[in-house]
């Protein structure tokens, strides 16, 4: 199983079977909530994938300081859970 297949499997495990992953060297890693799509620059960036997946699982804006910030406590809890679940044995 390659990295992309593993990431698709993880989407499904987290109830996001209808999401897609776009590998695009010209774009930054990003989570497109309304389009149900995660964009990554390269396939081999599992930590960034989990970062964006946490956004998909905690999509609400969490205002922190100036403007909208999406890395608040709800996102951080999701990200921590994902790291423990999927990166613990590495
Ligand atoms: Zn982020």
User: 26-50, pLDDT tens digit by residue?
Assistant: 988 999 999 999 999 988 899 999 9
User: What separation in Å is there between the alpha carbon of 28 and the centre of ligand 1?
Assistant: 11
Distance (Å, whole) CA 19 – CA 61: 20
Q: Is the pLDDT of residue 69 over 70?
A: no
Look at domain 3-87 and name its CATH class.
Answer: alpha beta
Gap from CA of 41 to ligand 1 centroid (Å): 14
User: For residue 19, which of 79, 27, 9 has the smallest C-alpha distance?
Assistant: 9
Q: Strand pairing partners for 30?
A: 39
Spatial separation of the C-alpha atoms in residues 4 and 2, rounded to whole Å: 6
Ligand 1 centroid to Cα of residue 82, in Å, is 14
Phi, psi (rounded to 5 degrees) for 52:
-70, -35
């Amino acid at each position: 199983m390659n990295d992309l297949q593993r990431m698709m499997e993880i989407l499904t495990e987290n109830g996001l079977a209808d999401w897609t992953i776009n590998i695009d060297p010209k774009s930054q890693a990003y989570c497109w909530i309304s389009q149900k799509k995660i964009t990554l620059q390269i396939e081999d960036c599992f930590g960034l994938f989990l970062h964006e997946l946490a956004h998909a699982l905690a999509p609400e804006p969490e205002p922190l300081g100036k403007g909208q910030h999406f890395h608040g406590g709800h996102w951080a809890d999701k990200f921590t859970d994902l790291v423990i679940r999927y990166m613990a044995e590495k």
